[in-house]
Structure 1
Amino acid sequence: MRGTASACGSATITNAIATGEGGAFAIDLRVKSTVSLTEDRSEISGKVGDTGEDPELIEICVEKVLEREGVRDQFGAQIETDTELPIAVGLSSSSAAANATVLATYAALGEEVEPEEAIEIGIESAFDAGATVTGAFDDAAASYLGGGVVTDNDNREILKKIDVDPKLRVLIYLPSGRSYTTEVDVERIRFLEELISVPRESALNGNFFGAQTVNGLIYSSVLGYDPQPALDAISAGAECSGLTGTGPATVAVSKKKNVEKIINVWNSKEGRVLRTRPSREGARIENGR
């Protein structure tokens, strides 16, 4: 039995590390996961494409689903993911991989799962794998549900849903390097709680663009990233721009007419630029059984 599912990456509106409340919106770059259930009950083995990344997260996701469904003693599994998302740059590749793998496992079993339960399994798996600091409920919810969300990560509650116009364009500037969230100095960030409350409140009040920009500038300063790519994007006409996650990627949201201006500015820097859009569609089954 085999199931394939995919889930979106996401970009930050407000980062949850400082306050426990965050926000993110889905982008139309996906991680696809294929889960093949096997009769070899002794092994659950994963492969993260051709990246060489540790597959522990996706292996734990499958283990947890099989345990919840009471069939761990019947099946092992082979898992493979394929991603359109760059890994460890702030675009929720771990949340997307977990969501896709959980949903693919249910598809392989021929069973349905409620979104809340699927997200919960992915988050618990991320904690077990040591792949998260906050649980990244904001990233996981945006990835699974599509659209934008503002969340209470500590209580895993969606505080507000945001409809991000899919006609907008999302541009991503990728300098060299990677940043794993679990390697970030959390204590250095948590003293920002009062300051970060400003963009958080803006997001709750519907000012998605302002929240994303201010959050990104604050986190760039604290984490030691150059804020100039974001400022350049705004000068070139972006609706908003800022660091996503714990970096190093910078995201800009723009109307179509300003896309080439922003790309031209960013192309003058070392690194590369990706183009995508906001996504209203979240996780989906590609095929099952």
Structure 2
Amino acid sequence: MKGVASAPGAGTVLNALATHRGSAFAIDADTTATVDLDPSTEGVDGEIAAAPDGDTRLIERCVELVADRFGDGEGGTVRTDSEVPMAAGLKSSSAAANATILAALDALGVDVVDPTGAGELDDGETDPAAGEITAADACRIGVAAARDVGVTITGAFDDAAASMLGGVVVTDNDTDELLARETRQWDVLVWTPPERAYSADADVDRCGHITEMADLVEELALDGRYGKAMTVNGLAYSAALGFSTEPAVEAMPHAEGVSLSGTGPSVVAVGDSEDLAAVREQWAARDGSLLETTTRTEGARIQ
């Protein structure tokens, strides 16, 4: 009973900390999960290839929830390999959870339907038949696992939905509802400084001071003005979370949008590769690393 699946990381349009409404877009950098289930085994052992001593509770809980819902509580192992840097604001936890969920479903022979979530936007809540599940509902299992183990504040349904479905999404993270999904063809440039930041450590009370700005970002996103939404979000959340706005200001003349991604520390810019070349030149002078990639219109997938 073996399954393998991958899921992309994502960048931020609207951080959900202030209002629990969020928006994110998938990027072309994957996390791959391999799940082996054994009916004779109790418990799940996890391994993160890039971090042998890393916290494996999330991926283990993902397997447990899938096995309880669609199997007979099988135990086993799960291993993740990732191109998405951890604790960098690029949704590494959501990517790991989604890849693990799909790999566990694959191991149990469960079909995943409605891969873009379009049915949810048309029909609201879904009621998958026995032996199959929609991609959006599979994503919700990972969100539940993240809440169970305490690696998220908002539930991160925005990040998880972008990773699972691909494209750009807007969500309500209180109700785990998909409000909008579109696709954008952008080149993406990410600057990640040497330090790391964990979502669970973010100052939620301070983020509450920028609620009006978050409401504005949501309006822009729901109007399809994702680039402007990103930039407003990035300036507001950088100030609230104590990050410099200088990288964003450097990018603004050249990028369609630029934002602090998640709770940082990465800054992500989107646009045309020729325009982003000027941003790359300035960001390359900073300590840290650069990632050049593109958006992804397709999300997580079983391999």
Q: TM-score range by the shorter chain?
A: over 0.9
1:204 is aligned to 222
- 83-92 or 255-264, which moves further after superposition? 255-264
Q: Which residue of 252, 266, 269 corresponds with 1:249?
A: 266
2:296 is aligned to 279
Structure 1 residue 195: deviation in Å? 2.3
- 173-182 or 108-117, which moves further after superposition? 108-117
Identical pairs, percent: 45
Structure 1 residue 5: deviation in Å? 0.2
Structure 1 residue 116: deviation in Å? 2.3
Matching of residues 127-276 of structure 1 within 5 Å = 127-165=147-185, 168-235=186-253, 237-276=254-293
Q: Given residue 55 of structure 2, which amino acid in structure 1 is its aligned partner? A: D
Q: Given residue 204 of structure 1, which amino acid in structure 2 is its aligned partner? A: L
What TM-score do the two structures reach when normalised by structure 1? 0.95
2:99 is aligned to 100
**3-state secondary structure, aligned to 1:118:** helix
Unaligned runs of 5+ in 2: 112-132
Following the alignment from structure 1 to structure 2, what is the Cα–Cα distance between the partners of residues 69 and 202?
39
**3-state secondary structure, aligned to 1:135:** coil
> CA deviation digits over 1:251-281, x for unaligned, max 9?
0002021232211111111111101100001
How many positions carry a matched residue from both structures? Answer: 281
Alignment RMSD: 1.1
1:3 is aligned to 3
Contact 1:20 1:153 in 2 (8 A): yes
Following the alignment from structure 1 to structure 2, what is the Cα–Cα distance between the partners of residues 175 and 89?
8
Structure 1 residue ranges (4+ consecutive) displaced by more than 3 angstroms after TM superposition: none
**3-state secondary structure, aligned to 1:87:** coil
Structure 1 residue 38: deviation in Å? 2.4
Q: Given residue 90 of structure 1, which amino acid in structure 2 is its aligned partner? A: G
Structure 1 residue 39: deviation in Å? 4.5
1:90 is aligned to 89
What TM-score do the two structures reach when normalised by structure 2? 0.90
**3-state secondary structure, aligned to 1:81:** strand
2:76 is aligned to 77
> CA deviation digits over 1:148-207, x for unaligned, max 9?
011111111111112211xx2100000011111111121111232122211111111111
Q: Given residue 65 of structure 1, which amino acid in structure 2 is its aligned partner? A: V
